């Protein structure tokens, strides 16, 4: 006796739905592909930073091998070489600053002329007429500035600011490379807080020569200078460099604020003065952080070489461009009534 099992027919739409369950959906595969792409792109910045660190380390090794100097001299020499490579950028930014000074002198002269015209245009002497006169002067100055920018090569302040700070990433990467070559595997936060936390990975291996070569009174360049000579030297040079850049502006703003009336303009000048003074005091804070973190002497030597070359570069470029002296304010001619000559007026 044979047993026969009944065969049930399954509808085709059920088979299709069952196949859809077994086959991964396009949405799921799309999410997986997106995750793979995210993983791939997330590692690209790390690779770029690693390549930048390795290029910087190769530059230090190349200067050391070609010069034949000890590490105590080749590290500051490499810092000087990086500053020299940045010299064209410094030249471009200073030339743009010179052009801005010329434009500022022209606008200052036109402002005096427009103010005299505004007095004749709004002679009532009330607060409302004074506001209308100032608004008219500002409108004329904006029009004049646009006309000047159309006929002259003029770099915006955003571009100048970006170029002026373009060396900061290079400076930071070089300092990090020298710190890794010294065998300091602490994180940047633990250097200044003494938390003792180490970095998980080190791209740059330690350089044995820094631990075996002595320099001046230092037995090696890996240890911290407990005499504080190098940190205080860096703090003094940094303070002199910032004062060289901002000292004249700080003095001018201090004398300008004394003669200003209370208002938004005076408040703005006070805030700018406070920020400039904070920048002037920042090198001494950095010196304290170096002493607190006991940074290796090799890193401090790099910082000294970099800021020392910066102090030489700045006056050299200004002398080359002819902006070592303050720009003279241009004269404007105030229109006089008919029958009288226009008298030149120094603004």
Q: What is the pLDDT of residue 319?
A: 82
Is residue 190 a part of any domain in this protein? yes
Is residue 300 a part of any domain in this protein? yes
Is residue 254 a part of any domain in this protein? yes
294-342 pLDDT, tens digit per residue, is 889 999 999 999 999 999 988 888 888 776 554 444 444 444 444 444 4
Candidates 344, 299, 327; CA nearest to 101 is 327
Q: What is the pLDDT of residue 285?
A: 87
Is residue 134 a part of any domain in this protein? no
- 114 CB-contact burial (10 Å; exposed 0-12 / middle 13-18 / buried 19+): buried
Residue 221, SS3 per DSSP: coil
Sequence-distant (6+) residues with CB within 8 A of 265 are none
Is residue 111 a part of any domain in this protein? no
pTM: 0.68
In DSSP notation, 154-168 reads ---HHHHHHHHTTHH
Is residue 30 a part of any domain in this protein? no
Sequence-distant (6+) residues with CB within 8 A of 65 are none
Q: What is the pLDDT of residue 19?
A: 45
Question: Total domain count for the chain?
Answer: 1
- Ramachandran area for residue 154 (φ above 0: left; ψ -120 to 50: alpha; else beta): beta
Instruction: For residues 54 and 47, give the distance between their C-alpha atoms in angstroms, rounded to a whole number.
Output: 10
Q: What is the pLDDT of residue 287?
A: 86
- Ramachandran area for residue 24 (φ above 0: left; ψ -120 to 50: alpha; else beta): beta
Q: What is the pLDDT of residue 120?
A: 82
Instruction: For residues 222 and 206, give the distance between their C-alpha atoms in angstroms, rounded to a whole number.
Output: 10
Dihedral of alpha carbons 285, 291, 293, 296, sign: positive
Q: What is the pLDDT of residue 188?
A: 60
Instruction: For residues 341 and 343, give the distance between their C-alpha atoms in angstroms, rounded to a whole number.
Output: 6
Is residue 272 a part of any domain in this protein? yes
Q: Which domain holds residue 263?
A: 56-89+157-323
Instruction: For residues 177 and 62, give the distance between their C-alpha atoms in angstroms, rounded to a whole number.
Output: 14
Q: Which pLDDT tens digits describe the chain residue by residue (347 residues)?
A: 444 444 444 444 444 444 443 444 444 444 344 344 444 444 455 678 888 888 999 999 999 999 999 999 999 999 999 999 998 888 888 888 777 777 777 888 888 888 888 888 787 677 777 778 888 888 888 888 888 777 777 777 778 888 888 888 899 999 989 998 988 877 665 555 555 555 444 678 888 889 898 898 999 999 999 999 999 999 999 988 888 888 887 887 877 777 766 667 778 878 888 888 888 888 888 888 889 888 899 999 999 999 999 999 888 888 887 765 544 444 444 444 444 444 444 43
Is residue 345 a part of any domain in this protein? no
In this structure, are residues 220 and 213 in contact, taking their beta carbons and an 8 Å threshold? yes
132-166 pLDDT, tens digit per residue, is 888 888 888 888 888 877 777 777 777 888 888 88
């Amino acid at each position: 006796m044979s047993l026969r099992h009944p065969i049930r027919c399954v509808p085709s739409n059920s088979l299709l739905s069952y196949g859809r369950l077994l086959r991964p959906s396009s949405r799921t595969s799309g999410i997986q592909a997106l995750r793979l792409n995210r993983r791939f792109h997330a590692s690209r910045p790390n690779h770029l930073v690693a390549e930048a660190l390795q290029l910087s380390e190769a530059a230090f090794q190349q200067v050391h091998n070609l010069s034949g100097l000890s590490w105590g001299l080749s590290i500051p020499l490499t810092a000087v070489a990086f500053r020299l490579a940045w010299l064209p950028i410094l030249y471009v930014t200073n030339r743009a600053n010179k052009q801005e000074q010329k434009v500022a002198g022209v606008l200052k002269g036109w402002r005096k002329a427009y103010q005299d015209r505004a007095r004749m245009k709004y002679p009532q002497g009330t607060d409302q007429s004074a506001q209308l006169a100032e608004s008219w002067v500002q409108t004329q100055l904006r029009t004049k500035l646009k006309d000047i920018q159309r006929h002259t090569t003029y770099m915006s302040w955003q571009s100048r600011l970006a170029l002026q700070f373009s060396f900061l990433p290079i400076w930071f990467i070089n300092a990090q490379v020298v710190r890794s070559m010294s065998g300091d595997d602490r994180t940047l936060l633990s250097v200044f807080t003494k938390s003792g936390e180490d970095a998980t990975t080190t791209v740059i291996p330690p350089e044995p020569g820094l631990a075996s070569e002595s320099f001046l009174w230092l037995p090696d360049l890996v240890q911290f200078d407990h005499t504080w000579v190098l940190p205080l030297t860096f703090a003094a040079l940094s303070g002199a460099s910032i004062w060289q850049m901002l000292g004249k502006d700080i003095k001018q703003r201090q004398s300008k604020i004394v003669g200003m009336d209370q208002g938004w303009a005076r408040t703005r000048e006070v805030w700018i003065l406070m920020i400039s003074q904070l920048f002037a005091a920042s090198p001494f804070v950095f010196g304290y952080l170096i002493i607190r973190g006991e940074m290796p002497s090799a890193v401090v030597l790099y910082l000294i070489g970099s800021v020392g070359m910066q102090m030489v570069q700045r006056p050299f470029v200004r002398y080359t461009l002819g902006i070592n002296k303050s720009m003279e304010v241009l004269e404007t001619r105030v229109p006089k009534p008919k029958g009288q000559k226009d008298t030149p007026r120094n603004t």
